[in-house]
Amino acid sequence: MTGIFYGSATGSTEAVAQDIARLLGVAESDLHNVADASADEADKYDLLLLGSSTWGCGELQDDWYGFLEDLKKRDLRGKQVALFGCGDSGCYPDTFCDAIGLLYEGLQGCGCTFIGSFEPQGYAATSSLVCSEGQFLGLAIDESAPEKTDARVAAWCRQLVSERQ
């Protein structure tokens, strides 16, 4: 069962989370804004999709801090985690989608398995925390290239389905 958890201040990450839910057939009841959710809710899912926009100079969206601290205390063994986020490579190339990297770093040692790394083809920024060993740690939505968002979300969802089989 898949649960989607997101933090969104302006609605961009929420919109991406809703698109992912639609494409993967995830029920609205399994879509959680971390501002209103408890980390306990993650227990019932075997796949967690976690999304955050990047703020300031590479920071998580504010609602994530408490939720992530609570999630880190949980035993996530046996769970798969896939990350997604929104950022602006035009204005912030050095910290583009760093929130994805912060979520990844925060959940190291919790026993989960990460899936959904994404090929950074067609992106201008690849030197931030989101990139590791030539791959993005998850789906990076570039708000400076909105015309590519739908195709990237769809490709990532297909990839997740393939990795889960």
> 42: domain CATH number?
3.40.50.360
- State pLDDT tens for residues 45-73: 999 999 999 988 888 999 999 999 999 99
Residue 124 Cα distances to 15, 118, 153, 164, angstroms: 23, 14, 18, 29
Mean pLDDT, consecutive 10-residue segments, the chain of 165 residues? 94 96 97 96 96 90 94 93 92 88 93 91 73 85 91 96 85
Query: Which structural domain, as residue segments, surrounds residue 108?
Result: 2-164
**Segment holding 59, helix H or strand E:** strand 59-60
Total number of domains in the chain: 1
Query: C-alpha angle 106/110/131, rounded to 5°?
Result: 45
Q: 106: burial class by Cβ within 10 Å (0-12, 13-18, 19+)?
A: middle
